[in-house]
Amino acid sequence: MRETIRVAKELSEPFVNCYAYYFALGHDADIKSLVKVMKPIVDYAEEMEITVVLENEAHDASGTPEGMLKILKALNSDHFRTNFDATNYYHANIEPFPYAYELLKDYIAYIHLKNGCRFIQGIHPDYAKGAPFAPPNTSSYIFYTPLPYGAVNIEGLITRLKDDGYEGFCTLEPHVHTLDKLMEYYKVEVAYLKQKNIL
């Protein structure tokens, strides 16, 4: 992480993304190990004037907005923020928008845009099938859809981002397993965001 921060500084990139996963696996995980590991990293990021963004993942302590807030407040730095991924909250069985957004909006420095729904065998192809949902829904898997076609209220989220004056980065993040499908998703998603005056 230190080297990634150093390279980000060298390239004039403002953010470095990270995850909690193995340091705090489970929504109710103890975050002491994560905080211990992240403290010197965040201190170094402050020195280098880089912001470390923690991406919420469905299966670890960052998988709920309350868990994410707990981690952010434990490290308590303007150079440690969240990469808000609404679909990862959906994958964690959490209402992404407006609920998670409302709790975290003051800490968002970066956004991943993608969408998803429950995978239905025989209807959805395998090329965008993801991991099981977080407990207690582990018998269901996520399927990643193009941005306008999933279960997550992306329309509401991007409208609020505009209304709230969000000026940070948004990255398209289709989760597909083949290059041809990746390009199909980008074509749909870029057209959708242009229609919404995001691009």
DSSP secondary structure code for residue 164 in this structure: T
Q: Give dist(CA 20, CA 18) in Å, integer.
A: 7
Contact between residue 78 and residue 49 where contact means Cβ atoms under 8 Å apart: no
pLDDT at 92: 98
Provide the domain limits for residue 95: 2-195
pLDDT at 80: 98
Q: Taking the alpha carbons of 69, 115, 59, 39 in that order, is the dihedral positive or negative?
A: negative
pTM: 0.96
pLDDT at 17: 97
Residue ranges of the chain with pLDDT lower than 70? none
Q: Taking the alpha carbons of 80, 82, 83, 89 in that order, is the dihedral positive or negative?
A: positive
| CATH code where residue 146 lies | 3.20.20.150
- Pick from 36, 44, 40, 90: which is nearest to 63 by CA? 90
Domain count for the chain: 1
DSSP secondary structure code for residue 72 in this structure: H
pLDDT at 197: 85
